Chain A
Amino acid sequence: MIGALARMPSTLRTFGSSQVSNLVGLLIVAGALVLTLQHVLQHSASFFFQILIIGIADGTIYGLIALGYTMVYGIIELINFAHGDVFTLGGYFSLALFPIFGIAEGKPGFGYVIPLLIVAAITMLLCGVVNVAIERVAYRPLRHAPRLAPLITAIGMSSILEGAMYLWRGPFSLHYPDLLPLTRFNIGPVNIGVKDLIVIAFAVILVVAFTLFINLSKLGKAMRATAQDRDAAQLMGIDIDRTISATFFIGAALAGAGGITWGLYISSVDPFLGFITGLIAFTAAVFGGIGNIPGAALGGLLIGLIRAFSDSYFDSSWTEVLIFGILIATLVFRPTGLLGMRVPEK
């Protein structure tokens, strides 16, 4: 019976035709928008703007993390599961660095700007070094092994990082000091916190700086070349190992910055934060088009908005189901993501 089934001509192939899937995708998106609009109209405008701002702030942080996923995937086709934990590590490193630079809760002021930036720089550096070390130990020796091997070491590394943070500060959620001013002001119906603005500005500056770096610098060019065709890049005299290390370093530095921003915005970090945050950021990278840098930033922003709106207008227990549903739907209906270009399946 099974043999007969295997020989049966398939009608399923037609399911994959692009017009049908584009139409279905559009219908789903339109339906979701109508449903959201209906819910939005039931609440006040100021509530809407509040959620919008939370969504944008969360979204820019997801974008920061998603950049690391998308870069690493673009260059070595590996889902770096440890990336989410490098993000958490950013929170932990900065927490440990605050006392050294005399930063404590309760007396925020402009005097903190310089020390905070120094802490951020050191944290980004440390996260970068950790990620480069992970690549050296766990991914580089397996570059020519079957695809499954580095994927499993990535999961192993994620577990090791989580375990290390668990061992370091215990299993509980840690309080992250409130260092940003809590002042809020109104523009018409919109109530904005200075904290929201700082978080958004910080993340946007990093994303823009990073995009410029990739597009304009020599190393950025080397990264793009390596992502396109590793062998050809090598023939052109690009040091592949160095370029990959640099990719891991920069991705982790952005994730570390994301960790600090998350801590400042949400005010708590725990050892296992990186797992679910990482998966959501990864979804953002896929949503925007994996391997595509503006796509990751856009995907992060959209996922942040979807998350904020789903949490407050619908039922928060279904938010993650929705987000992973988007992950599946993206890959089924538009595997290249919103902005992705056609990538050859290797």
Chain B
Amino acid sequence: MKGLRAFVRENSRNPNAIAYTVMAIGALAFPGIVQFANGGNGDFLVSLAADGGVYVLLAIGLNVVVGFAGLLDLGYAAFFAIGSYTYGMLASAQLISSPIHHAVHIPFWIALLIGMFVAAGAGALLGAPTLRLRGDYLAIVTLGFGEIVPRFFRNMRDWTSGVNGISALDVPTLPFWLTGPWASTQLAIEHNFRFVSFNPTAWYVLIVILIAISVIGVNNLYRSRLGRAWMAVREDETAAAAMGVNTVNTKLLAFAIGASFSGFAGAFYGAKLSLVSPDSFGFIVSITILSMVVLGGMGNIPGAMIGALLLYSVLYYFLPAAPAQAAALAHSLGMDWLNQSSPNGWPGISEFIHRLQFIMFGLILVGIMLLRPQGLLPSRLRAQELKRGVHDESAVVTA
């Protein structure tokens, strides 16, 4: 007990520790709370949260590239696409219609690792010829790569079904699974468990475990020799090289490791949605993930996670719900004429709000950058660097 008290006292002023604690408790309590609040009909929200977890994973991965190593990546969704398509081809009947004429059904748990390595390989492949480029040039190359990859998958019709995408992907299976009141059923052990779409709680638990593993892994990397090399390269590449950091391999590893998380996320996303289509990986996805990292605070893992959760809930929960709510509000205020579309161009309030979404997204991006360019939960080390322009030894130790 004394240990716990000391732990709390030590960390009560550490925003990262608080953020981790709040997120861990929130993640554990979330399914129970929404099921209770919605009278057992909260499956929709749990499923949405599991999808949001994909973005948390992506933000953690992009944070390695952009936040730690300072390599600007505008095409991160390309690796996400590669992860998803890898799983789609290796775990469905898709390859029957391809030139090899055999379906491949690799179990999810193994395909997860394969997706990870394929995405990491793609990251290294992109990184290798572009490493001598700096800053904006690198950003432009990644942007081009991000535009090419989805089009490539769309055009390889024999392998990927083109615009229709790959559907009916295999779901993960486990020998047993514990189910209980958090999924609004009796406490019991299920044998030969399959992750099915009408059981979002299982998907939710899976993604939370994946995120937890990733966070532990990235935290260890951050504190390792490699993590320090990333920071050195980010701050001053020439000085880092002079200090004996192999900048080429360091940057290559940042690209590969960052991409590997999107391989993870891609496999989960494909399995849960049971559909991989080339439209899901456009520029807007790359930008959304980048905005999540920047909003949360670049270079800080819990910051990126919080940014992902906040922006995801705004973009996929509040904004989509807004048109119906506006219509209901207009109705309850007795202004039903707002809901009618009129011939002089007024499309009705719900359609109007729906059309506002691009402006909303833009205003969020601009607003965040103007009001809080360092992010909501900035890395303490980076905050000090930004303030003083130099970093002292104590800052490195405490970070």
Contacts and interface: CB of A to CB of B under 8 A. Distances in A.
B281 to A, nearest CB: 14
B147 A279 contact: yes
B140 A286 contact: yes
A331 B347 CA distance: 46
A147 interface: yes
B385 to A, nearest CB: 10
Interface centre among A9, A167, A282, A318 (most CB of B within 10 A): A167
A31 interface: no
A16 interface: yes
Contact of B250 (A6, A15, A16, A324): A6
Contacts of B310: none
Contact of B155 (A151, A317, A346): A317
A320 B147 contact: yes
A12 B356 contact: no
Interface stretch (B51-59, B124-132, B187-195): B124-132
Contacts of B373: 142, 145-146, 149
Nearest to A171: B355
Given A324-B147, A328-B145, A148 B298 contact: yes
Contacts of B287: 152, 155
A58 interface: no
B226 interface: yes
B253 A2 contact: yes
Interface stretch (A88-96, A99-107, A156-164, A207-215): A156-164
A159 B361 contact: yes
Contacts of A6: 225-226, 229, 245-246, 249-250, 253
Contacts of A3: 224-226
B253 A157 contact: no
Contacts of A12: 128, 131, 248, 252
Secondary structure of the B side of the interface? helix
A65 to B, nearest CB: 16
Contacts, number: 169
Contact of A148 (B72, B225, B357, B361): B72
Interface stretch (B21-29, B106-114, B169-177, B362-370): B362-370
A332 B130 contact: yes
Nearest to A3: B225
Nearest to A77: B136
Contacts of A325: 144, 148
A331 B248 contact: no
A331 B141 contact: yes
A320 B151 contact: yes
A282 B139 CA distance: 13
A138 interface: yes
A222 interface: no
A245 to B, nearest CB: 18
B359 A159 contact: yes
B216 to A, nearest CB: 15
A131 to B, nearest CB: 15
A79 interface: yes
A342 to B, nearest CB: 13
Contacts of A16: 131-132
B355 A321 contact: no
Nearest to A286: B140
Contacts of A10: 246, 248-249
A148 B245 CA distance: 25
Interface string B220-243: 010011100100000000000000
Interface of B: 66, 72, 128-137, 139-141, 143-145, 147-148, 151-152, 154-155, 221, 224-226, 229, 245-246, 248-250, 252-253, 257, 283, 287, 290-291, 294, 298, 347, 352, 355-366, 368-370, 373, 386
What 7 pairs between A and B have smallest CB-CB spacing? A163-B358, A156-B365, A159-B362, A160-B362, A163-B359, A156-B366, A324-B144
23 contacts: A2-B224, A2-B253, A9-B246, A10-B246, A13-B248, A79-B140, A142-B370, A146-B386, A147-B135, A155-B287, A156-B365, A161-B362, A163-B359, A166-B355, A170-B347, A275-B283, A315-B155, A317-B155, A318-B155, A324-B144, A325-B144, A328-B141, A332-B141
